[in-house]
C-alpha cells in the first residue's frame, strides 16, 4: 500500500499544499516550526481520522479559518481509493471513501494502516501508562474490528459508571444501577484483556530481535503486560474495590488500569536508561508494531518517522537505516532539520527518494534521486 498523492488545506500552519510522494522514501526538511511535522500528521489523520497529538479538532484548523480538508489517493492491492477528511469543528467531521461518506469512523480505521514514530514517543511511553495502553489499542484497532468496537463499548459503559460515582453523595449510590453497569462491562473487559495478552505475546519476540539489531546485540530488552484481570475476574475486582470507588468517585478496577513494564537487562527502563537507549527502545517498539500490522493485514503499512535521527549515535543510525531500507519497509515519510544528513543517508543506502524542503508551511524546493 502507498499514497499516490495528497492535498492538504488549512491544516495547522499549512494554507495549501499538494504533492506527489515517492512510492519509497520521502523526506521533509527545514527548520523547526516550518510545518514538516504537520505534513506527516496530515497523512496520519487521513489514515486514522485523527491527529497523532491528540489535539481538539478546532486546534487542527489553521488560525483564522473555520475548517480543514485533507484529500489523498491510496493504492492498495491493485485498487485506487480516494480518501477525504472534511472537518469543520465543532460538529462536522466527514470521512469519504471514493466520494461516499463512511457511516462510522470505525469503519475507516484499519483500512489504511500507518505506524508513526515521533520524538514524544520515548517520553510518553516511559512516563504515561495511558500512552502505553494506547500503543496496544492503536495496533489492535487497525487489525481487529471486533476489538475496536468492544473497546468503544467498554469506554461508553465506563463513562456512565464514573458519572454515577461522581454524582454520588454521602455514599448513597444506586447499587442496582452500579451492578447493571458492572455486568455490562465484565465480558467486554475479559475480551479486551485476552486480546491484549495475546498481542503482547506475539509482539515481544519481534521487538526483542529489532532492539538487539539497533543496539548491536549488546542489551536484552523485555516487555511485561500487567493487568488486574490476570488473577481475578472483573466482577470480583469491583466488589473488592467498591468502597474505594465510592470514596474516590471513580472506577479503580478494569482494563483501563492496564500497563506495560519496560526493561533492559532485567532493570526497569525508567531507572537508568540513556537517551539513546530510550529512543532505541521506542523505535524498536514501533518497528515491531509495523511488523505485526504487516503480518496481520497482509500488505505493507505506511511508516512515518518524525525527527528520528536526532540524538542517535552513528552506529544506531546505521542499524536503523539498515532495518528500514533493506527489509522492504514500503513507503516511508521522514522529517529532519538537516537536508544534507538525510541525503547522505539515502545515498549510502542506495534507495530511491524525494526530498521536499519546507518553509512556512510551503514546499519551496524538491530534490529527486
Instruction: Give the residue with greater pLDDT, 339 vs 279.
Output: 339
Please name each of the domains of the chain with its CATH number: 118-300 (1.20.1050.90)
Which residue, chain included where needed, has cell 466520494?
99
The whole-number pLDDT of residue 326 equals 66
Pairs from 51-59 (Cβ < 8 Å, separation ≥ 24): 52/116, 52/118, 53/120, 56/89, 57/87, 57/89, 57/90, 57/93, 58/89, 58/90
- The string of pLDDT tens digits covering residues 330-341 is 899 999 888 888
Cell of 98: 471514493
Cell of 100: 461516499
Contacts (Cβ under 8 Å, ≥6 apart) of 148: 106, 109, 110, 140, 141
Q: 3-state DSSP call for residue 366?
A: strand
- The string of pLDDT tens digits covering residues 235-246 is 999 999 999 999
Contacts (Cβ under 8 Å, ≥6 apart) of 236: none
Q: What is the mean pLDDT of residues 336-347?
A: 84
Query: Going edge to edge, which strands form the sheet with 362-368?
Result: 114-117, 302-306, 332-336, 25-29, 353-359, 362-368
Label residue 311 by pLDDT band (50, 70, 90).
low
Label residue 215 by pLDDT band (50, 70, 90).
confident
The whole-number pLDDT of residue 39 equals 96
- Of 192, 338, 212, 206, nearest to 257 by C-alpha is 192
Q: What is the mean pLDDT of residues 344-355?
A: 82
Amino acid at each position: 500500500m502507498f499514497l499516490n498523492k495528497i492535498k492538504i488545506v488549512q491544516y495547522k500552519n499549512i494554507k495549501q499544499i499538494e504533492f506527489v510522494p515517492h512510492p519509497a522514501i520521502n523526506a521533509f526538511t527545514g527548520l523547526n516550526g516550518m510545518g514538516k511535522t504537520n505534513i506527516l500528521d496530515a497523512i496520519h489523520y487521513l489514515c486514522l481520522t485523527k491527529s497523532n497529538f491528540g489535539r481538539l479538532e478546532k486546534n487542527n484548523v489553521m488560525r483564522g479559518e473555520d475548517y480543514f480538508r485533507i484529500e489523498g489517493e491510496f493504492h492498495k492491492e491493485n485498487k485506487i481509493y480516494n480518501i477525504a477528511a472534511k472537518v469543520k469543528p465543532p460538529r462536522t467531521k466527514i470521512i469519504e471513501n471514493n466520494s461516499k461518506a463512511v457511516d462510522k469512523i470505525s469503519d475507516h480505521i484499519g483500512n489504511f494502516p500507518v505506524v508513526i514514530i515521533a520524538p514524544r514517543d520515548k517520553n510518553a511511553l516511559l512516563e504515561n501508562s495511558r500512552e502505553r495502553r494506547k500503543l496496544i489499542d492503536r495496533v489492535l484497532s487497525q487489525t481487529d474490528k471486533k476489538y475496536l468496537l468492544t473497546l468503544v463499548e467498554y469506554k461508553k459503559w465506563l463513562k456512565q459508571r464514573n458519572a454515577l460515582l461522581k454524582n454520588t453523595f454521602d455514599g448513597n449510590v444506586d447499587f442496582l444501577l452500579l451492578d447493571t453497569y458492572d455486568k455490562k462491562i465484565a465480558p467486554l473487559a475479559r475480551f479486551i484483556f485476552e486480546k491484549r495478552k495475546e498481542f503482547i505475546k506475539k509482539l515481544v519476540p519481534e521487538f526483542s530481535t529489532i532492539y538487539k539489531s539497533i543496539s548491536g546485540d549488546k542489551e536484552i530488552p523485555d516487555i511485561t503486560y500487567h493487568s488486574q484481570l490476570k488473577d481475578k475476574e472483573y466482577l470480583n475486582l469491583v466488589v473488592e474495590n467498591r468502597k474505594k470507588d465510592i470514596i474516590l468517585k471513580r472506577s479503580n478496577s478494569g482494563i483501563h488500569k492496564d500497563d506495560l513494564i519496560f526493561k533492559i537487562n532485567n532493570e526497569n527502563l525508567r531507572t537508568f536508561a540513556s537517551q539513546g537507549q530510550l529512543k532505541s527502545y521506542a523505535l524498536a517498539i514501533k518497528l515491531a508494531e509495523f511488523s505485526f500490522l504487516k503480518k496481520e493485514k497482509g500488505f505493507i503499512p505506511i511508516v512515518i518517522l518524525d525527527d528520528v535521527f536526532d540524538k542517535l549515535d552513528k552506529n544506531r543510525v546505521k542499524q536503523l537505516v539498515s532495518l528500514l531500507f533493506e527489509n522492504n519497509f514500503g513507503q516511508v515519510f521522514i522529517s529532519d532539520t538537516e537536508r544534507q544528513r538525510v541525503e547522505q543517508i539515502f545515498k549510502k543506502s542506495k534507495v530511491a527518494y524525494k526530498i521536499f524542503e519546507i518553509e512556512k508551511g510551503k514546499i519551496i524546493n524538491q530534490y529527486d534521486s
